[in-house]
Structure 1
Amino acid sequence: MDVPSLAFRTDLALARLAGSEVDDRGDHVVVRTPDNPDYYWGNYLLLPRPPTAAELPDWEAAFVRTFPRSRHRAYGVATADGTRDDLAAFADAGMEADASSVMTATAVYEPPRPNRDATYRPLAGDDDWAQQVALWSDSEDDRVHHDFVVAKVAAERRMTETGDGAWWGAFLGGRLLSSMGLVAASPGLARFQQVQTHPDARGRGLAGTLVHRVSRYGFEELGAHTLVMVADPEYLAIRIYRSVGFEDTETQLQAQRRPA
């Protein structure tokens, strides 16, 4: 299936690196993560275009056939643009519909107020990765299960072991307060993953400084000429990414339903 979306093309490449199964069935793509079946965006269907209300029941039936034990629903749309209005069939069926900004950069610069107190480096060793689990848990809401976080961080660590990228952290006093991954998705193209900052450390310039440092790593060590970042257009973090040189270029369309 043709996938015009830069966000989903990089998503699929990174899913393979993380050990997920990616199955192109011609009229849609199945992404499956047997090690973490509760991970919505590791177990989803990628559709060629937004379905109509009349088409959605067939996709729902396909999802159930593909993931018979899953209690969630998760759908991506392979187009490179669109709005939430294009996801009306999902929204009318009670799902969360999201249109995220796909941002790219071919050069970066320091944020207006860089944080020079922290240490910025790749995660390395069991203690760093245990802190990553804790940061994940502290940064997400109460609906995120600990077992899911452990499995997700284990997948992140596996991706770094391939040599195709790294997870970086901002440390103060040895404590991990902000982290993000950057992984090569294809020659010349690298994708940011899971940008997060501890709630008590936000507003201190850690994330912006870390994005700048990690971007330099992408250009200088991964050999990337384009970096890709996906962000919520309504969340304040998008201003951080713009402040170091990222620009909005596409839209990623997704819909999900959490378990009751």
Structure 2
Amino acid sequence: MHVSSLGFRTDLALLTASGSIVEDRGTHLVVRTPANPSFFWGNFLLLARPPFPGGEREVVAAFRTEFPQADHVSIGIDSADLAPECRAAFEAAGMTVDVASVLTAEHLTPPREVEAEVRPLVSDEDWEGRARLSHALYGGMDDDTFMEFARGRNVQEKALVAAARGTRFGAFVDGEVVATAAVFRTEEGVARFQSVETHPDHRRRGLAAATVHAAGAHAREQLGARTLVIVADADGDAIRVYRSLGFAETEQQLMMEKRSGAWAHMEDR
């Protein structure tokens, strides 16, 4: 299956580089991350196109067949053109439909100075701090379950760092990671940002912009990137930060998910 979406193409490049498995079924891809089965967007189906009318529940059932132990359902479509009736059918099947913006830039505008040390994550404690930061952004679920997921995600990213594909930067205040952004090379001349996060107590201080800018400079200077790619909610605060740095919308990325089990009560903060 040919993937045309820049968002999903860069997602898949990083997943396979860090140990995920992609199975091509012709009409769709099955993406598995055995080392981190609770990673929603490491264990998902990617459809080449929306299903025919009435096929939405079959798609959800197909996910359940492929991932019988999963506490989630994650389905992407390699086209953001989802008819209203198809969207309504997926929502009736219990899915939350999200259309994100894929933004690109060649150069980033320097942000304002910040009162923090901005540098790559290096030590095990740095990476554990990143896991704690991620945990601070979500509530309503078991701490051990979330930290197992967050540490598993760290393991995947550290594999990319070890392969010299990029790195994760953090903004440190009093020795603690309070904001972070990663960037990794996906193909010649292209680098993709991953998981830009800022602690709720440290927002609106320019820290997200500082970490994204530092990661972008690394991508251009060390990874040979000419195109920088980042994905954001179309109506969230983050997209305004990215636009201020020089990113502009290129396309949309269609993702749908349903949470259950330990993840059903997870809330964004």
Which category of TM-score, normalised to the shorter sequence, fits these structures? over 0.9
The worse-fitting range, judged by mean Cα deviation, of 233-242 and 142-151 is: 142-151
2:6 counterpart of 1:22: no
Unpaired runs of at least 5, structure 1 = none
Q: CA deviation at 1:89?
A: 2.4
2:247 counterpart of 1:249: no
Tell me, yes or no, if the aligned pair for 1:115 and 1:206 is still in contact at 8 Å. Answer: no
What's the counterpart of residue 210 of structure 1? Answer: 211
The TM-score, its normalising length taken from structure 2, stands at 0.91
What's the counterpart of residue 95 of structure 1? Answer: 95
The worse-fitting range, judged by mean Cα deviation, of 55-64 and 180-189 is: 55-64
Q: CA deviation at 1:84?
A: 8.0
What's the counterpart of residue 10 of structure 1? Answer: 10
What secondary structure does 1:145 align onto? helix
Unpaired runs of at least 5, structure 2 = 262-269
Q: Which amino acid aligns with 2:121?
A: L
After TM superposition, the runs of 4+ consecutive aligned structure 1 residues lying more than 6 A away are none
2:257 counterpart of 1:259: no
Identity %, equivalent residues: 42
Q: CA deviation at 1:219?
A: 0.9
Tell me, yes or no, if the aligned pair for 1:44 and 1:75 is still in contact at 8 Å. Answer: yes
The worse-fitting range, judged by mean Cα deviation, of 216-225 and 84-93 is: 84-93
Alignment of 1:220-259 (within 5 A): 220-259=221-260
Q: CA deviation at 1:83?
A: 5.8
What's the counterpart of residue 106 of structure 1? Answer: 106
Supply the RMSD in Å over aligned alpha carbons. Answer: 1.6
Tell me, yes or no, if the aligned pair for 2:106 and 2:228 is still in contact at 8 Å. Answer: yes
Alignment of 1:1-260 (within 5 A): 1-79=1-79, 81-82=80-81, 85=84, 87-111=87-111, 114-143=112-141, 145-260=146-261
Q: Which amino acid aligns with 1:136?
A: S
Tell me, yes or no, if the aligned pair for 1:110 and 1:244 is still in contact at 8 Å. Answer: yes
Tell me, yes or no, if the aligned pair for 2:97 and 2:257 is still in contact at 8 Å. Answer: yes
What's the counterpart of residue 266 of structure 2? Answer: none
**Which whole-Å CA distance do the structure 2 matches of 1:115 and 1:219 have between them?**
20
Q: CA deviation at 1:141?
A: 2.9
What CA deviation, in whole Å up to 9, does each residue of 1:61-116 have, x standing for no partner?
3212211222311100112x4368463321121211000000100111113xx133
What CA deviation, in whole Å up to 9, does each residue of 1:105-159 have, x standing for no partner?
0111113xx1332211110011111111111111223337221112112222222
Rate the CA distance shift 1:71–1:84 in 2: closer, same or farther, 3 A. Answer: farther
